[in-house]
Amino acid sequence: MPKILIIEDDISFAQMLQKFLTRKNFQVHVSHTGLDGEERLKNHPYDVVLADLRLPAYDGLQLFSQIRGKTQVIVMTGYAEVTTAVHAMRKGAFDYIAKPFAPDQLLNSIDKALKMSESEDKEKHMHNEQSSPKQGSSSILKTGSSKGKLKFISDAAQELNNYISLVAPTDMSVLIVGESGTGKEVSAKAIHANSKRKDKAFIALDCGAIPKELAASEFFGHLKGSFTGAISDKIGSFEAANGGTLFLDEVGNLSYENQIQLLRALQERKIKRIGSNKEIKVDVRVISATNEDLQKGVAKGTFRDDLYHRLNEFSFRIPALTEREGDLPVFANHFLEVSNLELNKHILGFSEEAWDIFRNYNWPGNIRELQNVIKRAVLLSQGERIEPNVLPQELSKGLENDANRDLSKEEFEKEQILKALKRTNYNKSKAAKMLRITRKTLYNRISHYKLEI
């Protein structure tokens, strides 16, 4: 029976949690102070700790540092404390859950924490000295910072990480689908970095920016004088990526003629530079990406069916930023840290008004837009925190539309359900994951509110 320690100074709330979790077959103990919780953890092993961030006369962040690696900590916090919750996760907390939370949401977080503990126990048993590729949803996707990895907490990020870890060791061609700005090239680099080709070159080619007349030269290279403007010999992307990975971004923008040239190279694994009769054998793994529906292109006859299947031995979709529930603060704080370094600034964080704007904006430009917004805000900020006045005006429109509305709890829940359904194109399974509830609960709430879906 899994053992849980609740550290919560609100006695009635702690008792309610204890009764609920006991009914769910957990062995539950309660501490009402941080010092008592610390003492219990010294003398007894626990599988999961549920801890309130705000404990009287006690630094909860210090506790997380002390017990890192010994047990999984889930931080209980209010939405107004998201920044502090992110700091807690950097100190070693596994997850955070915002009050008030649904029972299914709590159980889901506990279940993930227990699975993480099982995974870590297996690693210790196998005496594996290297970090497991599944330790948190951040272990595959790297960032550009010197600190390397971010710990994403959304189910969408975990699913993406699982796809990458699954396909990376193979030599399969991968098709990555996703909106602009979601990080398709970052995922491609993660696949390469976790493959047997990681010590060879990773070459990226933006197919959307190549004139069709020059595509063959970009793919295969050319000899000096082979056409007007060929003033010197050039190595093409296939040759440069030999032994490694070739990433073809926005592959759906290739002309039909260029598609034929690409297909031939993939089939024969041989290329010729323009102006040369010499065949060059190439061994490349191709990862392609698109923000279009290539199957529609195949149906219309604008994209070759045989090339589509050659590129699509394995495919996955990268979720939009609005689908990655809980990852926004992780990205935002990371980009703040990077921007501070680049601009030699010392902005400490975001005001609550700025967080409200971020949470209510739909981020059509996804992660790239968030990065640009934060870098601009860091440049313009004069105080310690980023305030609404340094954010682009278009970000505030969603919040202005919601202003002066006093939503009841039911109205708020109904609105959140509708937002999740719209963001997932009314896919109830994905909406339930975004809301961190079960599908059954979502169906019940849809029926309760008589939503016409």
Mean pLDDT of the 427-445 span: 78
Q: Minimal CA–CA distance to 254: which of 305, 311, 208?
A: 208
Residue pLDDT, tens place only, 317-372 = 999 998 887 789 889 999 999 999 999 999 999 998 898 899 888 898 999 999 99
Tell me the average pLDDT of the chain. Answer: 82
What are the chain's domains?
3-125 (3.40.50.2300), 156-317 (3.40.50.300), 321-402 (1.10.8.60), 409-448 (1.10.10)
- Spatial contact of 274 and 223, defined as CB atoms under 8 Å apart: yes
How far apart are the C-alpha atoms of 388 and 56, rounded to whole Å? 31
How far apart are the C-alpha atoms of 150 and 183, rounded to whole Å? 14
Q: In the structure, what pLDDT confidence band is assigned to residue 284 with cuts at 50, 70 and 90?
A: very high
How far apart are the C-alpha atoms of 73 and 64, rounded to whole Å? 7
Q: Is the dihedral of CA 292, 293, 299, 303 positive or negative?
A: positive
Say what the pLDDT of residue 69 is.
65
In the predicted model, is pLDDT for residue 419 greater than 70? yes
- Predicted model pTM: 0.60
Q: Which helix (H) or strand (E) holds 27?
A: strand 27-31
Outline where 153-214 has alpha helix (H): 155-167, 184-193
